[in-house]
Structure 1
């Protein structure tokens, strides 16, 4: 099938793959719709019909890597379940070729309200909702204090991770995740 004859989902996937490839080669700052269109063998208008901006295209491209979602197991041990899911998320977000693109996307969200809303709606909020749901189940099972604020727990849990990923750019490791979880769970456990 030639580029001129591609349409629909195949063309969309090709554009997203091209975006990630070029983003990894050039970096987000040098990535352009023109370069993506040229490499994908399409016109700029084909891209702009699907995405309003480079940031929106990058968001879709990055999210296409995680179609099944980062779901929580429920083994009956909330700490083990959080540890497993957050390790998977850290592995996804810190993979060498993708970390700079994710960081750039979050940076773009600071200037593009459409990208910020889409990032929150399609990635941040669904993951936060899954975390809060898993914490709620654990609280109902008596694994957490019955009066602990679950939304606050989510913020306390994610803050140190995003701080390292986006601000200090220190390594975001499984060991750091474990230390964060241990510190949080010291205050979340049921009281005797």
Structure 2
């Protein structure tokens, strides 16, 4: 007996142009309205596609917002760590900027949508984790700073250090802990060790 050919996919092929139009419309609508007032209907109208196209490719509004974030379409400059050559100062500035963002209503809803999307879809969670690992990411910045902190040595667990830093931020945001002066510096010192 010969093996049967795999079934052919039916339905329209995912167009990269349409995907980008949907993501760009989502980013614009998110910036203008925030997460709570973002609608699939509004995104579909702005991207000139049917709602069913969006739902075929993304299971929820939170998955769509998470993909926009991973693609760098939401808040790209606020989420990129600075690079002045001083890893401790750079991470402190980055943590402070993220904590400031998360204190804003738009930032809080963005975090909620990312967590919901990652809980619904393991691929989104994996992509969010991978977005931390690029050369311009926290992992890349830590690797580039070998020798500037006691635990930044060749072969150090840079991914785990990055995850610890991000995890501390997420936990603070989820618990809605009030911000105190010096929070960012204390979080960075907990991850990198004392100055």
Question: Shared fold by TM > 0.5?
Answer: yes
* 8 Å Cα contact 1:20-1:61 kept in structure 2: no
Cα shift at 1:44 = 0.8
Q: For residue 144 of structure 1, what is the aligned residue in structure 2?
A: 150
Q: For residue 84 of structure 2, what is the aligned residue in structure 1?
A: 74
TM-score, normalised relative to structure 2 = 0.64
The aligned runs of 1:78-117 (5 Å cut-off) are: 78-117=87-126
The aligned runs of 1:115-154 (5 Å cut-off) are: 115-121=124-130, 123-126=131-134, 130-140=137-147, 142-145=148-151, 146=153, 149-154=157-162
The structure richer in helix per residue is 1
C-alpha separation between the residues in 2 aligned to 1:149 and 1:120? 15
Among 5, 19, 24, the residue aligned to 1:13:
24
* 8 Å Cα contact 1:109-1:115 kept in structure 2: yes
Matched residue SS, 2:106: coil
How much is the aligned-residue C-alpha RMSD, in angstroms?
3.6
Distance 1:74 1:144, change over 3 A: farther
Distance 1:171 1:61, change over 3 A: farther
Among 180, 186, 192, the residue aligned to 2:187:
180
Number of matched pairs? 173
C-alpha separation between the residues in 1 aligned to 2:127 and 2:121? 10
* 8 Å Cα contact 1:72-1:130 kept in structure 2: no
* Structure 1, gaps ≥5 residues long: 1-6
TM-score, normalised relative to structure 1 = 0.65
Q: For residue 64 of structure 2, what is the aligned residue in structure 1?
A: 57
Provide Cα deviations, 1:74-128, integer angstroms capped at 9, x if missing partner.
Answer: 33x321122122223333444322312322321231122233233333x44449x
